[in-house]
A and B are shown apart, each in its own frame.
Chain A
Amino acid sequence: MKKKGKSAGFLRSVGEYALSIGVFIVVWWLYVGLKDVPAYILPSPPKVFKSLVEMFVKGSVYAHLWTTSYEVVLGFLIGGFLGVLFGYVFIKIDALKTMLMPYLIFLQTAPKIALVPLFVVWFGIGLVSKVVLIISMVLFPVLSGMMLGLESIPPDVRNLMKVLKATKWQVFTQVEMQYSLPALFASLKVGIVQAVIGAIVAEWMSGKQGLGYILTYASSTYDTPMLLAGIIVTIVLGIVTYQAVSVLEDRMLYWHESKKA
């Protein structure tokens, strides 16, 4: 009975989702048709769909999709790891936090797009400059999440570990990491979205590969159907990577109040 209710609920939400997108496409189609909008301003849905299918059938998109995904995943992993590391070190060593935090806040508040030309000068137009930008965008939210998580550990849990004569490593792996997970995942979900944005922006500015490059190429050649198709691929990449983090969160936070069935 309960299971049936659950799958019916799932079907219903899929239905609502499809309906919402369907209405949007119909309105778009009607607008283009009735107002006779030129295709280079706003192509009709079938034109965009055709361009999208062509990208995949002819296979021109795969190399770009791969490049962007690779940058996103690599930058996200490194940025996430550094965020966790810095978050932990900052909580443990207050002096380091006082010394380094201003730079990180500066890095966070500075419009990072402005830094891309600098990264290009320093790291070239290849993979490295893009990954560096992504790291800079992922690092801060993850670091904040990690610090918040570590600070939310009940004092008596630390006392328990002390009574048990646990080592620092045991405290970290058995207690601190686990207690940090809820805040950490909230920040990782922000981070993965930032990573996709970072990759696209960096590709706009430099390089001959990636979804960002497709967008600028399509834009400069007035190939608006391709531009919109590229945007759709980018959105899908964003959703897929976000969902991957989300699924991981559901699996690792099965015990948390927020995951109560």
Chain B
Amino acid sequence: MSSEYSVELKGLNKIYSNLLKEDTVALKDINLQIKPGEFISIIGPSGCGKSTLLRIIGNLDKPTSGTISYRDGADQQMGFVFQDSVLLPWKNVKQNAEFPLVIQKKQTKENEEKLDELLELAGLSEFKTALPRELSGGMKQRVSIVRALSYDAPLLLMDEPFGALDALTRDHLNEELLKIWQKTKKTVIFVTHSIEEATFLSDRVIVMSARPGQIKEVVTIDLARPRGDVTRNDPRFAEYNKYLRGIIG
């Protein structure tokens, strides 16, 4: 099914059946419309089903009931950035980043040039021939993001991509991610457990509650773009954070 929205979720439920215990309702009646080019974050306490929701959007998991429609129909191309960078250890930075092009047989000169630009944008140009084991956690995650962007899928799904990084690296990568997003105009769905990260990055923040996993509130973040250090010092940034913290409880 195609949709005018980048992604549209209608009445999505996910129930894990268990013979010995009561069924676990991981997601209950999720309705969501995401516009093309939007930056959406999903936050909530652990176990609220936010990763499950992302995996369902990414076709890695199936909903028990409900429908998902994408803008480009059933074979929607999307990029997925996992919690761990999942780089292939035998491939160097360049080879890892272009891996999707190899798999999808899209190694055109144009795409290779775009890839070089992305590597440049992510500050990886000098590390093209480095193996993953030689890189820091932050660098690996950058490669992983470039890989997800390399084949120009209009939809980018990110599952706590910076969760394992230290606060400074995380802030830095957040700014870089926004730069890349502004340049590539992707729709981004970003799962995180950091309220500040969600506020800083998003157009809208989806707040979820646990057991059953439901959408509690959708908060529009009306802060000027491009965002940077100025945004973090803006009193309204702190207000948004306080408000979100209040809802999550």
A residues with a Cβ closer than 8 A to B are: 154, 156-157, 159-166, 170, 174-175, 178, 254-257, 260
Contacts and interface: CB of A to CB of B under 8 A. Distances in A.
A160 B104 contact: no
Interface stretch (B18-26, B74-82, B120-128, B233-241): B74-82
A170 B103 contact: yes
B60 A159 contact: yes
Most central of A157, A159, A160, A174 by chain B CB within 10 Å? A160
Given A170-B103, A174-B103, A162 B88 contact: no
Most central of A159, A162, A170 by chain B CB within 10 Å? A159
Contact of B60 (A162, A170, A174, A178): A162
Contact of A166 (B84, B88, B103, B131): B103
Contact of B86 (A156, A165, A178, A255): A156
B82 A160 contact: yes
- 5 cross-chain pairs, A with B, having the tightest CB-CB distances, nearest first: A255-B90, A163-B80, A156-B82, A156-B86, A164-B103
B10 interface: no
B103 A163 contact: no
Contacts of B99: 164, 174
Given A165-B104, A174-B103, A260-B133, 6 more contacts: A156-B84, A156-B86, A163-B58, A163-B59, A255-B89, A255-B133
B100 A157 contact: no
A254 to B, nearest CB: 8
Interface of B: 58-60, 75, 78-80, 82-84, 86, 88-91, 99-100, 102-104, 131, 133, 151
23 contacts: A154-B86, A156-B82, A156-B83, A156-B86, A159-B80, A160-B80, A160-B82, A161-B103, A162-B59, A162-B60, A163-B80, A164-B99, A164-B104, A165-B103, A170-B103, A174-B99, A174-B102, A254-B90, A255-B90, A255-B133, A256-B90, A257-B133, A260-B133
A159 B61 CA distance: 10
Contacts of A170: 103
A192 to B, nearest CB: 23
B133 A163 contact: no
B210 to A, nearest CB: 23
A1 B63 CA distance: 61
A246 to B, nearest CB: 18
A160 B86 contact: yes
Most central of A154, A161, A163 by chain B CB within 10 Å? A163
Given A160-B86, A166-B103, A170-B103, A255 B60 contact: no
Contacts of A163: 58-60, 78-80
A255 B89 CA distance: 6
A178 B88 contact: yes
A164 B58 CA distance: 11
A178 B99 CA distance: 14
A170 B88 CA distance: 14
A145 to B, nearest CB: 18
A157 B83 CA distance: 12
B60 A256 contact: no
A69 to B, nearest CB: 31
Nearest to B144: A160
Nearest to B105: A170
A254 B86 CA distance: 18
Contact of A157 (B75, B88, B90): B88
A154 B100 CA distance: 18
Contacts of B131: 255
Given A159-B82, A163-B78, A164-B100, A256 B59 contact: no
A183 to B, nearest CB: 14
A254 B133 CA distance: 11
B156 to A, nearest CB: 11
A11 to B, nearest CB: 30
A161 B102 CA distance: 12
Contacts of B80: 159-160, 163
Contacts of A175: 88
Contacts of B90: 178, 254-256
Nearest to A163: B80
Contacts of B59: 162-163
Nearest to A174: B103
A87 B43 CA distance: 42
Contacts of A255: 89-91, 131, 133
